[in-house]
Chain A
Amino acid sequence: MESFQLELHPERGPIYISLFKNVKNAVELRQRLLDQDASLAWALVNASLVVNTFQILLAINKAIHKEVTGKLKTHKINSEIVYDFSSTNNISQSLRRYGVSDDSTALIAIAIGGNPGDIEKAMQADIHGELVPLSSIPEFSDIKLIRKYYQLNDNNISDNIDELMPLIAGAMALKEIK
């Protein structure tokens, strides 16, 4: 697990992000989300649609900024974070794509504030998988799907992360902007 600060909203406390691979209980996790089980206190993100930590921080930053300015679309910060990975306004589709699905095996768990020791332990209790460093995110990125969902399919755009990331950032930033 790694911790981060948001420059725009330091008052919300540190941000904790963990990457789990070989996750065995995605079905159970998804069911708990469907049941709105409040004891599952993390935003859970499908790691295959993520290219790096910066993308994760952009989604968290946007969701928290919307929370602070009273603009949440999904009413809860954890679902808003998942929603803000997406470039479209369709909430249920966004949560389906960027959240946990029954066949997820690589997941990113995000917590806002709290004690890091407690959080890491509680995340590991909830998510039955192997905790690995965020630097291994690229091993799980599905570039083809990322390009499809972020509508970055033009031939002039390459698969290179350094070229894709600014476009992913823009697509995320422009969601809800009319």
Chain B
Amino acid sequence: MIDSAVLIKQGAEARVYELKPFLTNPNGCIVKERFSKTYRHPVLDKQLTHRRVSQEARCLFRCRKAGIDTPALYLVDPEAATIYMERILGRILKDIIIEGKADTDVLADAIGAALAKMHDVDVVHGDLTTSNLMLRDNNASLVIIDFGLSYVSKLPEDKAVDLYVLERAFSSTHPQTEALFERILTSYKTHCKQAKPTLSKLEEVRLRGRKRSMLG
């Protein structure tokens, strides 16, 4: 990585850097570099990483094109497993909710609407948490980030699991937010063209989850 890039997050599968400025943009860009899992076969690993990187970039663009606020793509280098993208000037939702000053009804409506649009173009995010949702500082627009586990699927089951992952993230990170999550689902229902099959699958997924936690 070039010297002027500053590491802002070392994850389990990727390193995230800030590079400022970038091509005259004083806000710079975000550089996300996936690295190998050493326990995998090197050739297989390269193919898998390659595919993951292009899938992440494609899903980002597919969402943006559908009118969902996501970081703009600047450069994709599959060989180096690196994506250069817009740096969002804003805060992650997790911090905003914990701080407790924001109007959570407005937030819930925005989240439900964004997820509805995303699922309407068959993008399943794969890792919905309040750390992967941001609010822009300038216009409070809700931005979905980190499409590292995303894929395209029409299946209500996949979309339901997507929502369930977010529900679990809410209950573990933000206690007493059941009403907030219900409001997200209400907004989702009003904005999504195919909400019904997904929401009835969500009931099944929840039951399975509960059974599993009773056993575990």
Interface residues of A (CB under 8 A from B): 4, 6-8, 53-54, 57-58, 61-62, 65, 69, 71, 152, 154, 156-157, 165-167, 169-171, 173-174, 177-178
Residue of A nearest to B61 (CB): A170
What are the residues of chain A within 8 A of B74 when measuring CB–CB? 58, 61, 169, 173
Within 8 A of A (CB), among B53-91: 54, 57-58, 60-61, 64-67, 72-80, 84, 86
CB distance from B151 to the nearest CB of A (A): 15
B213 within 8 A of A: no
- By Cβ-Cβ distance, the 10 closest A-B pairs, closest first, are A166-B72, A173-B73, A57-B23, A170-B61, A170-B73, A156-B67, A177-B54, A169-B72, A177-B76, A173-B76
CB distance from A137 to the nearest CB of B (A): 13
What are the residues of chain A within 8 A of B80 when measuring CB–CB? 69
On whether the beta carbons of B25 and A54 are closer than 8 Å, the reply is yes
Selected A-B contacts with CB under 8 Å, 22 pairs: A7-B21, A7-B23, A53-B24, A57-B23, A62-B75, A65-B77, A69-B80, A156-B66, A165-B72, A166-B64, A167-B64, A169-B72, A170-B60, A170-B61, A170-B72, A170-B73, A173-B84, A174-B58, A174-B76, A177-B58, A177-B76, A178-B54
Contact of B75 among A53, A65, A156, A165 (CB under 8 A): A65
Separation of A171 and B58 alpha carbons in the complex (Å):
10
What are the residues of chain A within 8 A of B65 when measuring CB–CB? 152, 154, 157, 167, 170
On whether the beta carbons of A173 and B75 are closer than 8 Å, the reply is yes
On whether the beta carbons of B72 and A8 are closer than 8 Å, the reply is no
On whether the beta carbons of B64 and A170 are closer than 8 Å, the reply is yes
Separation of A22 and B92 alpha carbons in the complex (Å):
49
Among B4, B65, B67, B80, max chain A CB count under 10 A is at B65
Tell me whether chain A's interface is mostly helix, strand or loop, or mixed: helix
What are the residues of chain B within 8 A of A167 when measuring CB–CB? 61, 64-65, 72
CB distance from B95 to the nearest CB of A (A): 25
What are the residues of chain B within 8 A of A4 when measuring CB–CB? 23-24
CB distance from B86 to the nearest CB of A (A): 7
Interface residues of B (CB under 8 A from A): 2, 4, 19, 21-25, 54, 57-58, 60-61, 64-67, 72-80, 84, 86
Tell me whether chain B's interface is mostly helix, strand or loop, or mixed: mixed
On whether the beta carbons of A174 and B61 are closer than 8 Å, the reply is yes
What are the residues of chain A within 8 A of B54 when measuring CB–CB? 177-178
Residue of A nearest to B85 (CB): A173
Contact of B73 among A7, A53, A169, A178 (CB under 8 A): A169
Residue of A nearest to B53 (CB): A177
What are the residues of chain B within 8 A of A152 when measuring CB–CB? 65
What are the residues of chain B within 8 A of A174 when measuring CB–CB? 57-58, 61, 73, 76
Residue of A nearest to B67 (CB): A156
Contact of A69 among B21, B25, B61, B77 (CB under 8 A): B77
What are the residues of chain A within 8 A of B72 when measuring CB–CB? 165-167, 169-170
What are the residues of chain A within 8 A of B61 when measuring CB–CB? 167, 170-171, 173-174
Residue of B nearest to A70 (CB): B79
Separation of A5 and B23 alpha carbons in the complex (Å):
7
On whether the beta carbons of B76 and A54 are closer than 8 Å, the reply is no
Separation of A69 and B82 alpha carbons in the complex (Å):
13
What are the residues of chain B within 8 A of A8 when measuring CB–CB? 2, 75
Residue of A nearest to B23 (CB): A57
Separation of A61 and B64 alpha carbons in the complex (Å):
22
On whether the beta carbons of B76 and A6 are closer than 8 Å, the reply is no
On whether the beta carbons of A54 and B24 are closer than 8 Å, the reply is yes
What are the residues of chain B within 8 A of A157 when measuring CB–CB? 65, 67
CB distance from A15 to the nearest CB of B (A): 10
CB distance from B134 to the nearest CB of A (A): 15
